Structure 1
Amino acid sequence: MSEKLDVIIFGATGFTGKYTVFEAVSVLQNYRWGIAGRSQEKLENVLQEMGAKAQKNLKDIPIIIADIKNEASLLAMAKRCRVLVNCCGPYRFFGEPVVRACLEAGTHQVDVTGEPQYMETMQLKYNKQAQERKVFIISACGFDSIPADLGVVFIEKNFDGVVNSVESYLQSSVKGNASRGGAGIHYGTWESAVHGLAHSSELKELRKKLYEEKLPKFTPVLKPRPVIFRSEIVNGVCLPFPGPDRSVVMRSQRFLYETEHKRPVQMHTYVTFPSWLAAMLVALLAVSFGFLTKFTFGRRLLLKYPKVFSLGFASHEGPTEARMEQTHFSFIMRAKGWPSSEKLSEPTDQYTDLPTKTLTVKVSGSNPGYGATCVALLSTAVIILKENDKLPGTGGVLPPGAAFAKTSLISELEKHDHGIKFEILANK
């Protein structure tokens, strides 16, 4: 058998996969890595294309042939590495066989899914087995939801007290000529969103099985803002953020409460627009999208005509490199709580006074979908390789905040060109 690799990137010929290969040239430069997929020819083409882009000869990077429909090939692939980076989505359809193969092989797995039903189903079905096999299965390791989940970790490390709640505001912009037309996301991301929203009703019953006991209510309760509102925190018009960030953060907070008896942080997430008109147009589009996902014919329309129903934001071709490079994002996160001098003796104790301390942080980067996402994904693999002793327990199916809270992942993310920056804006 060939020498075991540190990392294999599976699904390397997909849109996200090939940019993960590009980022691997720098992020994995001190590790032995390979790529995997169904087609030898397509994999060779990716190495040639991304090698030319990175100005690096990648012809000696190992190629592994694996097919999602062939479980024996998945197991053979998983046995070839210590960490499998899975870029093969939508994970609702293609993720579970890879998880099973990694569990059998004793190989850790990270992925970039933003599909709550998939993530929580994997936790329900395989968490105990992952602990027994000493394997970490960690999802949401990209733009969904590293900035939010590690942003809360960053807040708690710098708060010097007890955090009660966090409000997160996503802002994004496209600079220069790249803002004129063109897709913002690839079809694969659109497809995952369609199926995720279509089956969102599954979450209630799933969570009843996953969490038999409810968390205690902590006061003051962080109430959601109105459906559309102007925020004084970011000076913009905001809507609820429809992504998985809040559900991922809540999973991390529950884990830390159950394993470390830490008071869980409450959170709500929003997305910011420059004007009332822009926010209302997006809200109308979101309502239409949500309505169509509830019906078979509606989903067919959404999947057949992504450009039409996303107003050009999603396409089979995906965004141009110019648009990707000129897209910037930031999460402004406002935390409220109490200073360390007012810390209670037990995490279940209730404060009688309102929070008196605030901390505002900014988590930012560029090329969120296919730059920062790929760097974050590979960085989680690196941390598993070099700081396995700092991960909680011996294994499990975990969100990133729970898995990497005690590691140097934030520092690792800040090292790279398409990395993610964490900074304090105000501490009062």
Structure 2
Amino acid sequence: MTDRQFDVVLLGATGFTGSLTAEYLATHAPAGTRWALAGRDGGRLRALRDRLGVDAGVVEADVADASSLRRLAEAGRVLITAVGPYIRYGEGVVAACAEAGTDYVDLTGEPEFVDLTFLRHHATAVRTGARLVHACGFDAIPADLGAFFTVQQLPEGQPIRMRGYLSIGALPSGGTFDSALTALARWRSGTVARARRRRVEPVDQSRRVRGVSGRPGYDRTAGAWVLPLPTIDPQIVVRSARALDRYGPDFSYGHFVALGNPLKAAALGTGAIGVFALAQVPPARRALSRLRPPGSGPTPQQRAKAWFRLRFVADGGDRRVVTEVAAADPAYGGTAKMLAESALCLAHDPLPSNAGQVTTAVAMGDALRARLDAAGISFRVVESR
């Protein structure tokens, strides 16, 4: 792809997370990186470019126009899309990248979209050499690369039991809230898509890899009250484990949110059940979406106070390790950093040879972890015995 016009193209650059990603690229893309801002409104894109003071290209493209997406995919080596919810607006972008052999990254947390992408576009991407890498933001890089880092601290060839415990202080953006409501409203079709994927996806029968749901309650290992987190994160971790022998012959993973007291745990659990129920009713779902409309997000002051810590406890053989991934502003500054560094890693770093729908651990592994560590997202061993 040396004849491509751009190394990295950012679609949805004028949205909330897209503009943060553009700001990050403007200050952190290596010298000589050829990159472009893309979206429907050329005037807004040029205004963003002028505000950033960068020599970036501007490409007009609409997710509803397949021909514009084809031209966009053919113009770049790596395409970032920040246009969601992806189940509504994402498939055309994936299809264009798969056909053009263009590497693709997004920040989706929508399992149905990821499963449908595998069913419809994985084979094409394998043929053309495109790497389709989903969930390159707070969902699910800390979980995926954190689990990968943790496995590397354990003896090889041993069964591994791992649990991840998330503590977080952050507010969602309107786009994230809209995507979550959409996923909840589509849980039935999402279940169907996952079942279809399981029927056709190859599985290595010589190894046992699984996710475990766990139970809410007090967890002595975490020293906190925990609730299972049925997000895309544990699904991504399990897919990395199935693809990489380093996770051992028998690997299990559970993913939880850790809270300081039972009242918070009960309130969060009850609230989640209520939102799920309301998301099934279109008028109620629309009313909920107005609480935090797409395009809105936390203020710079709120983001400055945001934080997260994802702690892993893993047992393998006769060893136990505790590791941690942590950073400030996970929801948006951090997600923009992860998204941009994923694209730069694909564009510039020597990486394993693979294609099709792959996870961050499979596609980039240590190279991306090193980039993120240098960018302020820390990966460290807390305890090893």
CA contact (8 A) 2:99 2:124 kept: no
Mapped partners of 1:163, 1:413: distance in 2 = 28
In the alignment, structure 1 residue 423 sits paired with structure 2 residue 385: no
- Of 154, 162, 167, the residue aligned with 2:163 is 167
TM-score by length of 2: 0.91
Letter in 2 for 1:225: G
The C-alpha deviation readout for 1:69-104, integer Å capped at 9, x for no partner, is: 111111111111110011111100111101111122
Aligned residues: 379
In the alignment, structure 1 residue 317 sits paired with structure 2 residue 296: yes
1:317 Cα deviation after fit: 2.8
- Of 384, 391, 394, the residue aligned with 2:352 is 391
1:224 Cα deviation after fit: 4.1
Structure 1 segments of 4+ aligned residues over 6 angstroms from their partners: 217-222
Mapped partners of 1:135, 1:91: distance in 2 = 19
CA contact (8 A) 2:206 2:249 kept: no
Flag the 1:301–1:324 CA change in 2: closer, same or farther, 3 A: same
Matches within 5 A, 1:25-424: 25-30=26-31, 31-49=33-51, 51=52, 57-58=53-54, 60-161=55-156, 162-173=158-169, 184-212=171-199, 224-227=213-216, 229-256=217-244, 262-263=248-249, 265-304=251-290, 306=291, 317-338=296-317, 356-388=318-350, 390-393=351-354, 395-405=355-365, 407-416=366-375, 419-424=376-381
Mapped partners of 1:220, 1:244: distance in 2 = 16
Mapped partners of 1:91, 1:154: distance in 2 = 29
1:205 Cα deviation after fit: 3.0
1:298 Cα deviation after fit: 2.9
The percentage of aligned residue pairs carrying the same residue is: 27
The C-alpha deviation readout for 1:106-165, integer Å capped at 9, x for no partner, is: 211111101010011101111111010011111001100000001111011121343522
The C-alpha deviation readout for 1:213-234, integer Å capped at 9, x for no partner, is: 667697898854322x122333
TM-score by length of 1: 0.83
Mapped partners of 1:262, 1:125: distance in 2 = 30
Flag the 1:255–1:203 CA change in 2: closer, same or farther, 3 A: farther
CA contact (8 A) 2:4 2:77 kept: no
The C-alpha deviation readout for 1:294-349, integer Å capped at 9, x for no partner, is: 23233222223x25xxxxxx8753100111121110101001121xxxxxxxxxxx
Mapped partners of 2:328, 2:18: distance in 1 = 18
Mapped partners of 2:66, 2:26: distance in 1 = 29
Mapped partners of 2:5, 2:67: distance in 1 = 17
Q: What secondary structure does 2:244 align onto? A: helix
Q: Answer with 1 or 2: which has the greater Rg.
A: 1
Letter in 2 for 1:280: A
Mapped partners of 1:239, 1:315: distance in 2 = 27
The aligned residue for residue 344 of structure 1 is none
Q: Any unmatched runs of 5+ in structure 1?
A: 52-56, 175-183, 308-313, 339-355
Flag the 1:224–1:80 CA change in 2: closer, same or farther, 3 A: closer
Flag the 1:204–1:90 CA change in 2: closer, same or farther, 3 A: closer
Q: Any unmatched runs of 5+ in structure 2?
A: none
Mapped partners of 1:220, 1:72: distance in 2 = 41
Q: What secondary structure does 1:140 align onto? A: coil
The C-alpha deviation readout for 1:207-254, integer Å capped at 9, x for no partner, is: 332233667697898854322x12233322211123211111112222
Mapped partners of 1:99, 1:115: distance in 2 = 14
CA contact (8 A) 1:27 1:375 kept: no
CA contact (8 A) 2:103 2:130 kept: yes
Flag the 1:236–1:36 CA change in 2: closer, same or farther, 3 A: same
Letter in 1 for 2:72: M
